[in-house]
């Protein structure tokens, strides 16, 4: 009897932990958080400070939230959880993309300039496999990357060394937005595949001389496995959550550039679309009804917001390049 009772209590404990650890994060105020950090460190908010601080905060959230980083856990309950690890991976993809953009674009004035020494250390460490749990663990590498980002941020405000820079140029921002477009395009396609559809192969469309390594059918049947529907949904939600905060940081750091290009309202509309992807989910499971069926399809709803954000991103990048 006592063994059975103990087993039941353990199950209840694990279920309670899984619910707590799997609770989705709220949005945070990027400007308020940056000012709070700057006041605590007695540092001025210079160009790039908000973006770097937001990147640090989002990366810290992955590691310090309830349960810590779950993607590489090998013990229950996190080993059987999939929603939060999928969300983490979506966040991590955006962290990696922004860290790369900071290393290759934002911290460099011209294509012939050298990499920033701290960003050169930070960016590769975010690329370790997120399922690594030892030798080295993903958490250790990510924490080392965050430490390098903090050093870079400290050098941004140091007028003595003057070797830490963040350039708020339209061409730098456009390069990062180009990568964001690709990421959101892939997210939208994966979400739309929840119901399955026949797609024409457009891989070589628009270029009569284009070739590819191996032949592919003219029509493709694309459908996400039923077992992966919720994983794709929460990974997409994590991507949008991180990107939402990064774009809010960009709005602050690149404010003058966006105003000059008459592109500020375009960025604000993108942020609004991404905020819609973070609405409360009242269903206990991710529903996957047919497009016009009786049951809702959460993936298609999410795909709608992502597609609209992506279309607005394309317009924004055009304004930056041609406006």
- Residue spans per domain, the chain: 25-199+219-322
Weakest mean pLDDT among 123-132, 138-147, 281-290: 281-290
Gyration radius of the chain's alpha carbons: 22
The predicted pLDDT at position 11 comes to: 85
Which token pair is 147?
């430490």
Angstrom distances, CA of residue 154 to CA of 41, 53, 64, 147, 164 = 9, 10, 22, 11, 8
Read off the pLDDT of residues 39-81 as tens digits, 9 standing for 90 and up.
999 999 999 999 999 999 999 999 999 999 999 988 888 888 8
Region 184-189: what's the mean pLDDT? 93
How far apart CA 138 and CA 130 sit, in angstroms, is 6
- Mean pLDDT for 149-178 is 92
Q: What is the mean pLDDT of the chain?
A: 89
pLDDT tier at 129, thresholds 50, 70, 90: very high
> 13-27, 169-183, 197-211: which has the minimum mean pLDDT?
197-211
In the beta sheet, which residues pair with residue 62? none
Q: What is the pLDDT of residue 7?
A: 76
Look at the chain and count its residues: 323
3-state secondary structure of 220: strand
Give the residue with greater pLDDT, 177 vs 79: 177
**220, β-bridge pairs:** 199
259 close to 272: Cβ distance less than 8 angstroms: no
Determine the pLDDT at residue 115: 86
């Amino acid at each position: 009897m006592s063994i059975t009772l103990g087993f039941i209590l353990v199950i209840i404990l694990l279920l309670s932990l899984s619910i707590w650890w799997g609770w989705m994060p709220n949005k945070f105020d990027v400007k308020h958080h940056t000012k709070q950090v700057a006041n605590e460190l007695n540092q001025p908010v210079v160009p790039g400070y908000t973006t770097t601080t937001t990147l640090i905060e989002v990366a810290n959230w992955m590691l310090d939230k309830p349960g810590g980083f779950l993607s590489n856990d090998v013990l229950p309950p996190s080993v059987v959880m999939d929603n939060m690890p999928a969300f983490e991976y979506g966040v991590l993809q955006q962290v990696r993309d922004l860290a790369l953009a900071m290393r290759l674009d934002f911290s460099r004035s011209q294509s012939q300039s050298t990499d920033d020494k701290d960003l050169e250390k930070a960016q590769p460490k975010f690329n370790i496999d997120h399922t690594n749990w030892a030798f080295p663990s993903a958490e250790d590498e990510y924490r080392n990357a965050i430490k390098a980002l903090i050093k870079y941020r400290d050098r941004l405000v140091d007028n003595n060394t003057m070797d830490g820079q963040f350039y708020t140029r339209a061409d730098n921002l456009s390069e990062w937005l180009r990568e964001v477009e690709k990421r959101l395009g892939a997210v939208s396609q994966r979400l739309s595949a929840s119901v399955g559809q026949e797609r024409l192969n457009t891989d070589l469309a628009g270029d009569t001389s284009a070739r590819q390594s191996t032949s592919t059918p003219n029509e493709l049947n694309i459908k996400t496995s039923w077992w992966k529907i919720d994983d794709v949904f929460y990974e997409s939600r994590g991507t949008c959550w991180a990107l939402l905060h990064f774009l809010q940081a960009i709005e602050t750091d690149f404010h003058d550039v966006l105003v000059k290009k008459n592109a500020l309202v375009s960025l604000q509309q993108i942020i609004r679309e991404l905020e819609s992807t973070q609405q409360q989910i009242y269903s206990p499971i991710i529903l996957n009804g047919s497009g016009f069926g009786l049951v809702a399809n959460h993936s298609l709803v999410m795909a709608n917001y992502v597609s609209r954000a992506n279309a607005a991103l394309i317009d924004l990048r055009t304004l930056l390049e041609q406006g």
